[in-house]
Amino acid sequence: MLNESLVNIAAHLPEMARRQPDTTAIIFPKQGRRLSFAELNLMSDRIARNLLSVGICRGIRTVLMVTPSPEFFALTFALFKAGAVPVLIDPGLGIKNLKKCFAEAEPHAFIGIPKAHLARLLFGWGKGSIRTLVTVGPRLFWGGCTLNDLINRDASDQPFIPAPTRHDDVAAILFTSGSTGAPKGAVYSHGNFAAQVEALRQVYGIQPGEIDLPTFPLFALFAPALGMTAVIPEMDFTRPGSVNPRSIIDAINDYGVTTMFGSPALINRVSRFGVKHGVKLPTLKRAISAGAPVPAAVLERFTSLLASGTEVFTPYGATEALPVCSIGSGEILGSTRGITDAGGGVCVGRPVEGVRLEVIEITDDPIYYWDESLRVPTGKIGEIVVQGPQVTRGYYNRPDADHLSKIADPETGSFFHRMGDLGGRDEEGRVWFCGRKSHRLETASGTLFTIPCEAVFNTHPAVFRSALVGVGPRGEQRPVLCVELEKGIKVDQEAVRAELLTIARDHIHTHNIETILFHPAFPVDIRHNAKIFREKLAVWAARRLQ
């Protein structure tokens, strides 16, 4: 049986070290450092062996707060090899959310840079559960040991045998971005990670020996597993929307990068700079962007920097399930863009191989068992649910969230994950995203879905992005369109308001939108700088309308 088979996601690294030992695994241009696959594997072996000596072994939940560096890569693979469970939490989630994440994860160990240890002490993170401390860098007064101490404790170069973990054994806990509610710890099994690696390999045709530019630390970990060289750019990974475009462009051209991953905010920033300065990126074979819908105008700008026929792919998924669907910029710009601009939603492509995707009736209540009667007809908007090997089984210490997000499937013995997203399928089997379920508006005249409504307003040349929010009690919500204008252009807001109201009246699904507010800069998530915090905008709009 699959569930009984041995699988450890870290096993990809020693295999790549065997196949291509001298090939560079990671490059850090800012630090002038690089490690081959053999060196990275050896470093992670040493760390794994010595983690065991301080009690960080199989099943030990270990918070890892280390900036992207050779140590971060080696530590992550070492934790997997030891069978420990890395707990990855974005430091930018905010003090309140971070403390809650620590309380839920109940970590036994903490590995961090000095700044992370100081924050842990100052805010009491994990005070009741953490027993083992490791500092990456100089250790001050908080006890434990340093990473250098560990590495030098036993410098044996004997290969480390990874823990005999199985398909369903817990591999890691990855916290969501908290863009819709409190962050939750998605529990990843080794099988989930293995399925992700294989899906990325198959969907995008990635081959060992390619050069990757990952601008999101978690995606950087896939590169060594896929046999790619990872070039870690000089940037603040918590602010991809503020990246220096030149650092990305120089890294791509200096190292002959063939694949890059970037949030929509980063792709937008680099593409604007690239078009303005006549930049070309001829070595890229593909670019991948996820985290939020990528506007067609951004795809058009970025593809103009690429060789003819090279596409930007926009996989659809979530922390709990990725990838679910994928589509390329060629199909978006060639056929789906017009439907999106007219309010038909954003096409996210077709489900990837091995994923079963269904669209069900919209409800906020738990659904305990799958039944075929839950399905909605083709063309109707409902909630997207998915089943597949890369779909995580649940959240750590959040049974309430599990009840609301999982549907048992007795026929297969598996389950469906409720994405919390709304959308539908067309006659060609393509999936169209229409916004988050929690963001839908229940007005006196019917339900409004965010993405289809916002899209028609986003066609206005002065609009950078828009967000539809509801003010008032559900069932009687007043639709309010919040608008962020393009930066650097002077416009008459009242003239733009009048033009947007005309657009609203021209579309049957937006004609009841009569209130437009201009916002200087939308609040967005820390991870991708692209997911709009509509809940915060709704509070802001309510105050403005008092």
* CATH 3.30.300.30 holds for 441-545: yes
Under-70 pLDDT residues of the chain? 1-4, 155
By three-state DSSP, how is residue 540 classified? helix
Instruction: Report the pLDDT value the prediction gives residue 1, as an integer from 0 to 100.
Output: 35
Q: In terms of C-beta density within 10 A (0-12 exposed, 13-18 middle, 19 or more buried), how is residue 536 classed?
A: middle
The type of residue at 497 is R
CA dihedral 299, 455, 214, 60 (to 10 degrees): -160
DSSP state string for 56-95: --TT-EEEEE--SSHHHHHHHHHHHHHT-EEEE--GGG-H
Runs of H (alpha helix) within 112-189: 114-123, 147-153
**Residue count (the chain):** 546
Contact 130, 106 (CB under 8 A): no
CA distances from 372 to 116, 364, 369, 375, 412 (A): 49, 18, 10, 6, 13
Q: Look at strands 185-189 and 211-214 and give their pairing.
A: unpaired
Closest CA to 336 of 448, 466, 455: 455
Q: For 483, list phi and psi in degrees, rounded to 5.
A: -130, 130
Residue found by looking up tokens 């779909």 in the block: 391
Element spanning 408, H or E: strand 406-409
Chain centre distance of CA 34: 26
- Give the residue carrying structure tokens 């053999």: 38
What are 421's two structure tokens?
């997203």
DSSP 303-371: HTTBPTT-EEE--EEETTEEEEEE-BHHHIIIIIHHHHHTTS-EEEEEEPTT-EEEEE---SS---B--
Sign of CA dihedral 483, 486, 490, 495: negative
Amino acid letter, residue 464: F
CATH code given to domain 11-189: 3.40.50.980
State the pLDDT at residue 30: 84
DSSP β-bridge partners for residue 375: 360
- DSSP SS3 for 103: helix
In 3-state terms the chain splits into helix, strand, coil percentages (rounded to 5) of 35, 25, 40
Strands 382-387 and 356-360: antiparallel
Strands, E assignment, 413-477:
414-425, 431-436, 441-443, 446-448, 463-471
Spatial distance between the Cα atoms of 42 and 78, rounded to a whole number of angstroms: 10
The boundaries of every CATH 3.30.300.30 domain in the chain are: 441-545
State the angle between helix axes of 37-53 and 12-19 in degrees (0 to 180), rounded to the nearest 10.
140
Tally of helices (H runs) and strands (E runs) in the chain: 18, 27
Model pLDDT, residue 4? 53
Closest CA to 138 of 109, 110, 117, 155: 117
> E-assigned strands of 159-215?
170-175, 185-189, 211-214
192-436: CATH number: 3.40.50.12780
In angstroms, the Cα distances linking 467 to 179, 423, 524 are: 14, 17, 11
Cis peptide before 323 (omega within 30 of 0): yes
Structure pTM? Answer: 0.95
Q: At what angle do helices 264-276 and 296-303 cross, to 10 degrees?
A: 50
List the alpha helices (DSSP H) in 162-208. Answer: 190-204
